């Protein structure tokens, strides 16, 4: 009998992987399900990005293995993007490493920095991959609370009242998913001071900074940040390229080297035409982001209407690719309302519990659906006559 490794028991199939099967099943039964769950941008990448992909793919010499650290054009592209967008200087030679999306980077970073038994601070609510990967590498997750009362920012007083001696790494994610909280400059400074005081690697996962966010920022812009922090970024949401799997990690050369040691043993570089096209995407000017965001802004107004229909409460100033809202008290939790809406209106809305216990009384709706689909969702949900 062949048994899987023990680590298999530490994780479950990703919630959306399971849910998508259920939605497929409903569709096969002839039900027209609208999926407002997943943050996979439905608008296209810029046309010059797709053209670059096609043109460079025609070159026979572009199909071989690529360097482990990415082509210079892509690393320079990331460095220029960071300079232009956030005012940060990064050395493209050794302070940037391209990744196949930030999700993969979470694994590489954890493999590079964590020993079994090391403790990791994880946001509750937060992106589920942080805890899954922590478990997979045998480290120990310790949740820290994010709540509406503290504007979904870490409470350093609470953290420092605890024993932090075994904590090696802390995941933060501003702009925050799922709560839509923006990065606050004072909190970013405190995070760096906290990391330096306790010798904790602060990892900021920053894929949402260009989506409906008036002030894109990077944790690396805080003085002294490179001593204790690294940052992940990605073209998935900012450039409508989620399926391409292109992201990066930035930080001081020593940290990047550790990550490269892991990554170079796991894959062999990205397809060159994708790297060339990604470099093109990183040159796009603010007008391009503005056009994409104008579409999201119109959709967000419709999502607010869905939330109003469901009698949920929410912050109209939240940023990013989703709307996060508190459910009315008479529902037990977000799952109850999500199940009701899927069952009766055939609209799928993400229940907040999948992001952690603090997400239980919340739901999250993605802006990656057309206005027509959102209007249809409003129509169907209105018929439910939620009392
Ligand atoms: C907070 C957060 N980090 C990372 C990711 C993964 O992004 P990528 O496509 O770059 O792997 C997501 C995707 O939904 C996310 O919400």
The pLDDT tens digits of the residues spanning 211-262 come to: 999 999 999 999 999 999 999 999 999 999 999 999 999 999 999 999 999 9
Domain-located, residue 57: no
- What is residue 387's predicted lDDT score, i.e. its pLDDT? 59
- Residue ending a domain, among 262, 281, 300, is 281
One domain for residues 266 and 344 = no
Identify whether residues 277 and 296 lie together within a single domain.
Answer: no
The tokens describing 205, both together, are: 């996962």
Residue 32 lies in a domain: yes
Q: Choose one of 250, 281, 312: the last residue of a domain.
A: 281
> Is the CB of residue 31 less than 8 Å from the CB of residue 342?
no
Residue among 324, 17, 31, 308 nearest 181 (CA) = 324
* 237-248 tens-digit pLDDT: 999 999 999 999
- Per-residue pLDDT at 26 exceeds 70: yes
Question: Does the residue 83 lie in any domain?
Answer: yes
Q: Are residues 264 and 357 in the same domain?
A: no
Choose the residue to mutate in 177, 238, 248 for probing ligand 1, maximizing ligand atoms within 8 Å of C-beta. 177
Task: Tell me, yes or no, whether 157 lies in a domain.
Answer: yes
Q: Per-residue pLDDT tens for 115-153?
A: 999 999 999 999 999 999 999 999 999 999 999 999 999
Q: What domain range is 122 assigned to?
A: 63-281
Residues 208-239 as b/e (b if ≥16 CB within 10 A, e otherwise) read bbbbbbeebbbbbbbeebbebbbbbbbbbbbb
In this structure, are 79 and 180 located in the same domain? yes
- Does 50 fall in a domain? no
**73 and 182 within one domain:** yes
281, 308, 335: which is the final residue of a domain?
281
We report the CATH number of the domain holding residue 331 as 3.90.1150.10
Do 261 and 154 share a structural domain?
A: yes
- Whether residue 54 lies inside any domain: the answer is no
Give the rounded percent of residues in the chain with a pLDDT score beyond 90.
Answer: 94
Q: How far is the CA of 24 from the centre of ligand 1 (A)?
A: 23
Residue 55 domain-assigned? no
- Which ligand 1 atom is the nearest neighbour of the CA of 126? 1
| Averaged pLDDT for residues 286-300 | 97
* CB of 106 closer than 8 Å to CB of 132: no
271 and 357 in a common domain: no
Instruction: Sheet with 362-366: list strands edge to edge.
Output: 313-314, 322-326, 362-366, 350-351
- Supply the pTM of this predicted model: 0.96
Give how many domains the chain has, as a whole number.
2
Q: Are residues 268 and 333 in the same domain?
A: no
pLDDT at 57: 98
Q: Tell me the CATH number at 245.
A: 3.40.640.10
List Cβ neighbours of 122 (8 Å cut-off, separation of 6 or more).
130, 131, 134, 141, 142, 143, 144, 171
What is the distance in A from the centroid of ligand 1 to the CA of 242? 9
Are 265 and 306 within one domain?
no
Q: 374 and 355, same structural domain?
A: yes
Reported confidence tier of residue 18, pLDDT bands at 50, 70, 90: confident
Q: Is 273 a domain residue?
A: yes
Instruction: Note whether 215 and 309 are same-domain residues.
Output: no
Pair 353, 326 in one domain? yes
Pocket, ligand 1, Cβ cutoff 6 A: 39, 101-103, 127, 173, 177, 205, 207, 234, 236, 242, 247
């Amino acid at each position: 009998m062949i048994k899987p490794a023990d680590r298999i028991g530490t994780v479950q199939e990703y919630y959306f992987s399971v849910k998508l099967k259920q939605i497929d099943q409903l569709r096969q039964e002839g039900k027209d399900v609208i999926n407002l769950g997943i943050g996979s941008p439905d608008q296209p990448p810029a046309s010059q990005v797709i053209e670059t992909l096609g043109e460079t793919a025609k070159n026979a010499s572009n199909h071989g293995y690529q360097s482990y650290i990415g082509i210079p054009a892509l690393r320079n592209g990331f460095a220029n993007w960071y300079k232009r967008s956030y005012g940060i200087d990064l050395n493209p030679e050794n302070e940037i490493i391209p990744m196949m999306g930030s999700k993969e980077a979470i694994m590489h970073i954890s493999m590079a920095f964590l020993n079994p038994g090391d403790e990791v601070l994880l946001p509750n609510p937060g992106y589920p991959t942080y805890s899954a990967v922590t478990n997979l590498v045998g480290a120990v997750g310790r949740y820290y609370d994010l709540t509406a009362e503290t504007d979904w920012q870490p409470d350093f007083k609470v953290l420092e009242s605890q024993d932090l001696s075994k904590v090696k790494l802390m995941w933060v994610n501003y702009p925050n998913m799922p709560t839509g909280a923006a990065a606050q400059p004072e909190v970013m400074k405190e995070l760096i001071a906290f990391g330096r005081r306790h010798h904790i690697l602060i990892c900021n996962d920053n894929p949402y900074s260009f989506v409906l966010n008036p002030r894109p920022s990077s944790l690396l812009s805080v003085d002294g940040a490179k001593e204790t922090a690294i940052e992940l970024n990605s073209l998935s949401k900012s450039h409508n390229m989620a399926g391409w799997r292109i992201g990066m990690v930035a930080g001081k050369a020593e940290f990047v080297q550790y990550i490269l040691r892991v990554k170079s043993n796991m894959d062999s570089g990205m397809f060159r035409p994708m790297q060339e096209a990604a470099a093109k995407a990183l040159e796009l000017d603010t007008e391009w982001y503005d056009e994409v965001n104008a579409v999201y802004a119109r959709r967000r107004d419709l999502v607010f209407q869905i939330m109003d229909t469901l009698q949920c409460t929410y912050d109209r100033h939240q940023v990013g690719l989703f709307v996060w809202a508190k459910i009315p008290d008479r529902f037990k939790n977000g799952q109850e309302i999500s199940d009701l809406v899927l069952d009766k209106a055939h609209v799928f809305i993400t229940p907040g519990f999948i992001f952690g216990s603090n997400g239980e009384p919340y739901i999250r709706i993605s802006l990656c659906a057309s206005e027509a689909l959102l209007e249809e969702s409003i129509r169907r949900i209105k018929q439910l006559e939620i009392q």
